[in-house]
């Protein structure tokens, strides 16, 4: 099963990945929240992308009281089902890496779902810091 591979040193900090992610997860007509973040903490060469690791023993899945976070067998991602969410935000507090957030605007959580198996960020990353292989 393919995985999203991050090679931090190749990251040039251009943050195209964040734009691609926001545009491919629209909130109504406007771009939504980016599920990936390329932190500019390696000046001057580049940034450091952080995105959901789709953990095997996912803390977010463990704490969710209503099975709103479940493993997607085909993509391998932990998918968020907003209809099942009761907004208790336990997942946001429980994720040790901060890779799931709650958007008050849309009253929904946001996390990486590997774009259903074809991640946009990897597609547009100019420096192959993000690859889906």
Partner 1 sequence: MILTINGRPLAARPGETLLQVARRAGIDLPTLCHHEGLEAWGGCRLCVVEMRRHPDEAPKVVPSCLQAAEDGLRVETHTENLLRIRATLLDLLLTRAPGSELIRRLALEHGVGDTTFVPQAEPSNCILCTLCTRACAAVGAFAISTAGRGAEGEISLPFVDDADACVGCGSCAAVCPTGCIELKDEGLARTIWGRTFQRVPCEVSGEPTITREHAALLSKRTGLPTDGFFVTDEGRRRQTADTIAALVGVGEGRAA
Site residues (CB under 8 A) for partner 1? 7-10, 37, 39, 41-43, 45-46, 48, 50, 59, 62-63, 65-68, 81, 83-90, 92-102, 107
Question: Residue 109 forms beta bridges with which residues?
Answer: 102
- Cβ proximity to partner 1: between 53 and 124 the closer is 53
- Cβ proximity to partner 1: between 65 and 126 the closer is 65
- CA 32 to the chain's CA centroid: 12
Instruction: Show the DSSP H helices in the chain as ranges.
Output: 16-24, 59-63, 90-94, 120-124
Q: How far is the CB of 45 from partner 1 (least distance, A)?
A: 3
Phi-psi sector, 33: left (phi>0), alpha (psi -120 to 50), beta: beta
Whether 59 and 68 have beta carbons less than 8 Å apart is answered as no
Whether 35 and 24 have beta carbons less than 8 Å apart is answered as no
- Cβ proximity to partner 1: between 30 and 67 the closer is 67
Q: How far is the CB of 76 from partner 1 (least distance, A)?
A: 20
Q: How far is the CB of 57 from partner 1 (least distance, A)?
A: 11
Q: How far is the CB of 51 from partner 1 (least distance, A)?
A: 9
């Amino acid at each position: 099963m393919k995985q999203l591979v991050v090679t931090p040193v190749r990251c040039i900090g251009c943050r195209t990945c964040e734009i691609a992610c926001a545009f491919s997860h629209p909130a109504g007509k406007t771009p939504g929240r980016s599920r990936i973040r390329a932190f500019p903490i390696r000046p001057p060469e580049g940034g450091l992308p952080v995105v959901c690791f789709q953990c095997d023993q996912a803390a977010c899945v463990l704490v969710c009281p209503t099975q709103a976070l479940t493993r997607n067998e085909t993509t391998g991602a932990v998918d968020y089902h907003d209809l099942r969410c009761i907004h208790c935000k336990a997942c946001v507090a429980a994720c040790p890496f901060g890779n799931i957030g709650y958007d008050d605007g849309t009253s929904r959580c946001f996390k990486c779902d590997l774009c259903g198996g074809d991640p946009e960020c990897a597609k547009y990353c100019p420096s192959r810091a993000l690859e889906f292989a």
